[in-house]
Chain A
Amino acid sequence: MKANSKNRSGNIFESIRKEEEKEEKEEKAKNNQVDTSIKKPQQVNMATKKTETLAKNTNNAETQEKPAKTTKTEKFAETVSNNSGDNYLNMPENKVDSSVNNGLLYITPTRKKTRSHRKGFLLSDLALNNLQKEAAKYEISENELINQILEKMI
């Protein structure tokens, strides 16, 4: 029995260690996945180099200075400008995602919502006075008034 009770606390720590190791492995696996996605810009660089080499070969100085992606966009823009009729950029299928074109990744930090039963809010004195006046006007409680306002909003 003694051995069991001693092992019990040890088991918790062993489980924690295993869990941490598991998480580390998962993180590493994720990082590996990120690495493969990082290859994309490298591929872009490769494409740029290829374009540059091609540009050198053709002695085209302008193309040499610009990266491959810009060239593509410019070509697309040229096509659009040559077209005197409809504005192709405004057509939904031709809309260019500028964030992708700039090579930027926008990360929006996410935060879990605080549990509603834990968090309250404080009204300013003015808001509280108005709320109390309105509640008195309709002869209902402040909570009921808030409920009704929210229900109507939805």
Chain B
Amino acid sequence: MITISIANQKGGVAKTTTALCLANGLQECGYKVLVIDMDPQCNTSSTYRAIQENTATLYDFLHEDCTIEEAIQTTESGDIISGDSNLAGIEGEFAAHIKNYSLLRKALKTIDDKYDFAIIDTPPNIGFYMTSALVASSGVIVPLKAEKFAIDGLAQIMANINDAKDVNPDLQIYGVLLTVYDKRTALDTVVHDQLPEIGKERGFKVFKTSIRTCQQIKEAQSRQVRLFDEYPNCNAAIDYANLIKELLEEVKK
């Protein structure tokens, strides 16, 4: 099983969208995919229509009240370990015990043969949840929006990923992914053109594919449907399909 974290401490860079579309696209390619929603905002879980009440969620798993298999919910959109709004206030509680950081990594090893890919959606901060995800992952995709603050934060997330290699030496940066790309905007074009150069200088890969801004993504999310099912010909679906091609080549290396 290849575990991919979608991580960036900056909010609003399309982490959840990328996680959802990546999972959806990989399923379309015939892969068995498990989605893990580590973001207490639970947007991925709600899009999957996962249940949080009276059902084992990530909260129960991290409290060691259930096994990882018991926390997996099978929905129409696919298998998911649902996030839980209760996770928001107790990050410090988990972080207080160092052994908790390895819980996910160890648990994923037990279901290694059941899925081809695990996609982890992380919250927009470098805390317990994101650190656990990095410890458990084979690689990271860093979504990036062409905004000053997002670009400024890139160095920080890269440093954090490199630090994570101390625990997880096999951790790779699959690439930085430019999202919500609008070629009509000057800044977007500049970032789009210069990002590969910056990547070369700083030693990280940038995906050739950029995800164009697309109204259908918003529609799919609001209707809680899968992008590839409902809008397979929209710009974002085409871009995510190209991203998956690139990613699969990267993973095979």
Contacts and interface: CB of A to CB of B under 8 A. Distances in A.
B126 to A, nearest CB: 7
A19 B56 CA distance: 27
Nearest to B67: A111
Contact of B163 (A13, A20, A111, A120): A13
Nearest to A11: B163
Contact of B131 (A12, A18, A119): A12
B110 to A, nearest CB: 14
Interface in B54-73: 54, 56, 59-60, 63-67
Nearest to A120: B54
Size category of the binding interface on chain A: 20 to 34
Given A13-B163, A14-B166, A112-B64, A118 B135 contact: no
B61 to A, nearest CB: 11
A21 to B, nearest CB: 10
A52 to B, nearest CB: 42
Nearest to A12: B131
Contacts of A119: 54
Nearest to A7: B163
A16 B54 contact: no
A10 to B, nearest CB: 4
Most buried by B among A16, A18, A114: A16
A28 interface: no
Given A19-B98, A114-B66, A9 B159 contact: yes
A95 interface: no
A115 B54 contact: no
A37 to B, nearest CB: 25
B37 to A, nearest CB: 17
A6 B66 contact: no
Contacts of B54: 119-122
Nearest to B99: A19
Nearest to B64: A112
B224 interface: no
B160 A15 contact: no
A19 B166 contact: no
Contacts, number: 57
Nearest to A15: B98
Contacts of A121: 54
A16 B168 CA distance: 10
A23 interface: yes
A112 B61 CA distance: 11
B65 A10 contact: no
A12 B160 CA distance: 10
Interface in B75-111: 86, 98-99, 101-102
B87 to A, nearest CB: 12
B65 A9 contact: no
Nearest to A115: B65
Contact of B60 (A10, A20, A23, A114): A114
A13 B134 CA distance: 10
A50 to B, nearest CB: 42
Given A10-B163, A10-B166, A122-B54, A16 B60 contact: no
Going nearest first, the 6 A-B pairs with the smallest beta carbon separation are A19-B98, A13-B166, A10-B163, A16-B101, A17-B167, A114-B65
17 contacts: A9-B163, A12-B131, A12-B163, A13-B163, A13-B164, A13-B167, A15-B98, A16-B98, A16-B101, A16-B131, A17-B167, A18-B98, A19-B98, A20-B167, A114-B60, A120-B54, A121-B54
